[in-house]
Amino acid sequence: MSLRTAREPAQADGETASADSTAPTIQTVQRAALILGSFTVSKPWLSLNELTARLGASKATAHRYTKALRAANLLRYDERTALYSLGPQVLTLAAAARASLPIVAAAEPYMERLVKEVGETIVLSVWDGETVTVVRCADNTDHLIRISVRTGARLSLTASAQGRIFCAYLPPDQVPGGLPRLLRKYPELRSEIEAIRTHGLSVNSPAVNGVRTIAAPIFEGETVVAAMAIVGTAVTVADDTTSPIAVKLLETTRELSRRLGNFDPDTLVSAS
């Protein structure tokens, strides 16, 4: 009994020492994450003073962290403006994170099948909380002219077909600034959203580059979780929601939505 009692304080002391030894490491990770999380779409460039205020530490400490993050290619520094931005390694990590999303694995066979059926590039996009981000692109390699969309590309909420899909089906308060405010700023968007909710499709006609996109929503239950789009030229993709390509896209996204638990056909064509 006395031997066990003698050991117990030593074990407790050891546990305390172990916790104390890891505390600086944990703080380092937390501070690095805090710095990286300070950058947003609306604020992609930050000064050392702004990062210091965000960190709640001295400027020397903030500078030490930014130097280490720059060495790891997680931050970039523009000497001309004296501003920091996220580094290229963040894109690699983001691509890996996006690739692990369940919706990517679920949608991939449907995308590959659709590529073969329509002969065009198929793009999958998700909502990242601020805008639409491309998470997967299945190219048609048989065309003489190959259209590809970069994974990780962030698309316009109002100008892209995928962005308009989310405008139509996201809860209004999840749209940045609120959907009513967006409609006041872009009044022409109202008729677009009504058409999307009627047909379940968004068509983005070419402006300058001759590329046309048709997009449709993917639902998990009653929640929109992604948009799948066909991207081609104005010659190969018709500006018509009743075209064979558009119908094939809608059939594919509805099939995938049913697999993800959406069994209400009204959800697929109307806003909740």
Summarize pLDDT for 88-138 with one digit per residue, the tens.
888 777 766 665 578 888 999 999 999 999 999 999 999 877 789 898 999
Mean pLDDT of the chain: 83
Question: What's residue 172's pLDDT?
Answer: 86
Q: Mean pLDDT throughout 218-227? A: 92
Sequence-separated (6 or more) residues with CB below 8 Å from residue 185? none
Q: Give the pLDDT band (50/70/90) at residue 253.
A: very high
Q: How far apart are CA 136 and CA 98, in angstroms?
A: 8
Residues of the chain with CATH 1.10.10.10: 2-92
Exposure string of 39-76, with b = 16+ CB inside 10 Å and e = fewer, is beeeeeebeeeebbebbeeeeeebeebbeebeeeebbb
Correct CATH for 101-259 of 3.40.50.300, 3.20.20.10, 3.30.450.40, 3.40.50.11540: 3.30.450.40
Q: Mean pLDDT throughout 176-189? A: 86
Question: What's residue 98's pLDDT?
Answer: 61
Question: What's residue 265's pLDDT?
Answer: 56
Whether 85 shows a pLDDT value over 70: the answer reads yes
Q: How far apart are CA 231 and CA 215, in angstroms?
A: 9
Q: What pTM value is reported for the model?
A: 0.65
Question: What's residue 214's pLDDT?
Answer: 96
The share of the chain scoring above pLDDT 70, in percent, equals 81
Whether 270 shows a pLDDT value over 90: the answer reads no
Residues of the chain with CATH 3.30.450.40: 101-259
Q: Which CATH architecture has domain 2-92?
A: Orthogonal Bundle (1.10)
Sequence-separated (6 or more) residues with CB below 8 Å from residue 145? 233
